[in-house]
Amino acid sequence: MAMPRLPRLSLAALVLASLACSAVLPPRPKVEWDHSPDFLVAVAQTGGGMMYDPNPMPEARLWGDGRLVWVDQDQNGARQVFVAQLSGDEMRALLQLFVNAGFFGWKDTYSPGQVMDAPSSCLSVELQSADKSVCEVLSGAPAKFHDLYAALASGAGKPGTDFVPTRAYLQVTPFPVDANTNVAEWNAAALGLSLASVGEGQWVEGPALERAWEIVNAHHQNPVARDGQDRYTLILLVPGLTTLEPPSQQ
């Protein structure tokens, strides 16, 4: 007996059906990642537009070995930098939140329309089978975007300890003496470094680094120090941490 013929689906119908499935079922990559300590698995970062910061730093960075560094900033512009170590299970649970939220199926950029000079908030995740970056300019991203951003930028619920760099690259630029701004004191004799001697940039360690780190975190958007009669804006580049990378270490 002849088998009944199945109705043929046109190519257009197949494409529409595929798109509908993609919309209902976003990509769900397996939560597997590179466990290398220098491999960035996830980043939360806000910047760009008219937002000027001589010492920009992502709000959170998560490396393959579970090391998580994040920034807590108060209303006065001062920031604290924390570090915590996530276990394999904790890291897997955090990354699973992104998968469950449909993050890998979201658009690359969300905004209310054409926006000029506004900062972007971006989340990036790289797994072994998929990588994705999603940015929001002012508004428009899925509600879960903000939940995921907050989870990463708050330390994933882990108690953090103060992050203390051991070596960084210091740059200084002269600052007008009569300008109205907060000024920190720089004791060159005690710190073993005169800001005037830094020139175009110098690697620093020990007391000089500790003081520079304190100053840029207290006023990272306008970190000014007085060395004798002179004032300087400080820029401190920490390898693997600050948005701007220092030159190769010597």
In this structure, is residue 107 part of a structural domain? yes
The reply to whether 17 falls in a domain is no
User: What is the model's pLDDT at position 237?
Assistant: 96
Contact status, residue 186 vs residue 226, Cβ threshold 8 Å: yes
109 and 63 in a common domain: yes
Q: Are residues 47 and 124 in the same domain?
A: yes
Same domain, 151 and 100: yes
DSSP state of 105: G
Same domain, 182 and 158: no
Verify that 158 and 200 share a domain, yes or no. Answer: no
Residues 175 and 179: their CA atoms lie apart, in Å, by 8
Looking at the chain, which runs of residues are DSSP E strands?
Answer: 40-47, 60-63, 67-73, 79-85, 109-110, 120-126, 131-137, 161-162, 168-174, 184-185, 202-204, 224-227, 230-237
Return d(Cα 194, Cα 139) in angstroms, integer.
Answer: 45
Tell me the pLDDT band of 115, cut-offs 50, 70 and 90. Answer: confident
Q: Are residues 153 and 176 in the same domain?
A: no
Instruction: Please identify, among 118, 134, 162, the residue that sits at the C-terminal boundary of a domain.
Output: 162
Which helix H or strand E contains 92, and what residues bound it?
A: helix 88-101
Is 47 domain-assigned? yes
Q: Which pTM was predicted?
A: 0.83
**Cβ-based neighbours of 17, under 8 Å, separated by 6 or more:** 9
Do 52 and 158 sit in the same domain of this protein? Answer: yes
Domain that holds residue 186: 168-237
The domain boundary, picked from 146, 162, 178, lies at: 162
For residue range 15-55, list pLDDT tens digits in order: 444 444 444 678 999 999 999 999 999 999 998 766 677 88
- Asked if residue 133 is part of any domain, the answer here is yes
At CA 165, angle to CA 163 and CA 166, rounded to 5? 140
Q: Which of 127, 162, 197 is the last residue of a domain?
A: 162
The rounded Cα 86 to chain-centroid distance in angstroms is 17
Q: Is residue 4 assigned to a domain? A: no
My answer on whether 75 and 183 are in the same domain is no
Is 246 part of a structural domain of the chain?
no
Q: Are residues 44 and 141 in the same domain?
A: yes
Residue 60 lies in a domain: yes
Co-location of 127 and 195 in the same domain: no
pLDDT of the residue at 50 = 64
Confidence of residue 119 (pLDDT cuts 50, 70, 90): confident
Domain match, 107 and 122 both: yes
- Give me the number of domains the chain comprises: 2
Q: Please check whether residues 91 and 156 belong to one and the same domain.
A: yes
CATH number at residue 51: 3.30.1560.10
Segment among 45-54, 113-122, 149-158 with least mean pLDDT:
45-54
User: What are the tens digits of pLDDT across the range 184-221?
Assistant: 999 999 999 999 999 889 999 999 999 999 999 998 77
Edge to edge, the sheet with strand 131-137 lists 109-110, 131-137, 120-126, 40-47, 60-63, 67-73, 79-85, 161-162
Establish if 101 belongs to a structural domain. Answer: yes
